[in-house]
Amino acid sequence: MGMDGGWAGVALTLAVLGLYEAVLVLPRQRLAPAPARHAGLREDWLGVVSAQPGSELLAVQTLRNSLMSATLLASTAALALMGTATLTAPSLHDGLASPGPRLVLELVLLALLSASLVATLMAVRFYNHAGFVVGMPVASPARVRWADVGVRYVRRAGVLYGVGLRQLVLVVPVIAALLAPAAGPVAAALVVAVLVALDRFGDDAAPG
């Protein structure tokens, strides 16, 4: 495929991914209400366990599971980022002299992996802080004093985890475009369709 075809495939791939990202960050977006509702679910969960004496161990274990999941995702992003940086370093160096569609895709790939790594690391941080809050005895003055902070930590951790996971999933179309520019837009459309469908799953039944 010629240079023009390569640029067209790259442009379409990035356009689909960019549109998806833009829709997600709109304050009143309707295609993906799940993140906000999941945040509400986590807040309700913390409110319920905070009202039940003796639930501290269960709450800590639940957050530990979330912490382990975020840690695994961060490790995956870190390994992928290091491997990508190692493999693309020669072509990145040569590509700076004559920029092409491959250089753009490699930079986007590095950016997505970096964003995923940073977001999941921050999720680990907030889950860790929230663990100290929910580990306090429910009736203790310290638990009451830190309750609002714990809610914010759990919300932020969940949102950041979702961001990191999505950035990692969006790597797939970029890799497809690297292998064959014409496959990029197709892969991007399929991945976005799946993500949107999952975000809307159970929307009618979920509480507002």
The tens digit of pLDDT for each residue in 172-198 reads: 999 999 999 899 999 999 999 988 887
Quick check: helix, strand or coil at residue 157? helix
Check residue 93 and give its pLDDT. 67
- What is the token pair recorded at 13? 């791939």
- Helices 171-179 and 3-25: angle between axes, nearest 10 degrees: 180
- Condensed to tens digits (0 to 9), the pLDDT of residues 89-113 reads 777 766 666 678 888 899 999 999 9
Check residue 61 and give its pLDDT. 92
The whole-angstrom separation of Cα 63 and Cα 57 is 10
Check residue 42 and give its pLDDT. 84
Check residue 98 and give its pLDDT. 67
Place of tokens 């390994």: 79
Q: In angstroms, how far is CA 18 from the centroid of its own chain?
A: 15
Check residue 135 and report its DSSP letter: T
Other residues' Cβ atoms within 10 Å of the Cβ of residue 163: 21
Nearest CA among 160, 104, 105, 101 for reference residue 130: 160
Check residue 54 and give its pLDDT. 84
Place of tokens 């999720």: 123
Report pTM: 0.83
Check residue 14 and give its pLDDT. 92
Residue stretches of the chain with pLDDT short of 50: 1-2, 27-32, 202-208
Check residue 30 and give its pLDDT. 47
Check residue 91 and give its pLDDT. 73
| Strand boundaries in 23-88, DSSP class E | none
Check residue 34 and give its pLDDT. 57
Alpha carbon separation from 7 to 17, 19, 24, 79 (Å, rounded): 15, 18, 26, 29
CA atoms 157, 158, 161, 166: torsion sign:
negative
Domain edges within the chain: 36-169
Nearest CA among 11, 6, 168 for reference residue 75: 168
